[in-house]
């Protein structure tokens, strides 16, 4: 939804992060693959081959509050795509929230917003 607003370096980092998050539970669902394809198209990087970067290195790329908000919102959409919030996904989101310095109330608002979007698209 907002990925086109990211800088080129952020787009590549976001795709790295999204692929990592989609694969973190050991099983990429068809729903997650569909969203990853949508992300690639939206950002105009369909041919980009992920490098498997470490999450700590990826997160350093997102310097502005706006880009951090975009990343979290889009990742939550990806995580909830298959209807299951796995422990490894939860731990990764916790790490991302801490790295970005998110307020717990902000996160609750993001999560509620994503759930409403999911309901609308069903």
Q: Give the tokens for residue 20.
A: 């990592």
| pLDDT number for residue 89 | 84
In tens, the pLDDT along 9-35 reads 999 999 999 999 998 878 888 888 999
Where residue 102 falls among pLDDT bands split at 50, 70, 90? confident
Percentage helix, strand, coil for the chain under 3-state DSSP, each rounded to 5: 70, 0, 30
In this predicted model, what pLDDT tens digit does every residue of 82-94 receive, in sequence order?
777 778 888 888 8
Domain ranges for the chain: 3-121
The pLDDT confidence band at residue 119, using thresholds 50, 70 and 90, is: low
Instruction: Just give the CATH number of 3-121.
Output: 1.10.3680.10
Q: For residue 17, give the nearest of 67, 74, 58 by alpha carbon.
A: 58
Element (H, E) at 22: helix 8-23
């Amino acid at each position: 939804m907002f990925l086109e607003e990211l800088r080129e370096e952020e787009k590549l980092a976001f795709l790295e992060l999204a692929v990592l998050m989609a694969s973190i539970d050991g099983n990429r669902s068809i729903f997650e693959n569909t969203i990853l394809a949508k992300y690639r198209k939206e950002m105009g990087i369909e041919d980009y081959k992920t490098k498997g970067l470490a999450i700590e290195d990826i997160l350093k790329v997102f310097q502005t509050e706006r880009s951090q908000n975009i990343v979290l919102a889009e990742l939550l959409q990806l995580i909830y795509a298959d209807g299951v919030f796995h422990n490894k996904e939860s731990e990764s989101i916790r790490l991302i929230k801490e790295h970005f310095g998110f307020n717990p109330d902000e996160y609750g608002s993001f999560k509620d917003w994503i759930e409403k979007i999911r309901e609308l698209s069903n």
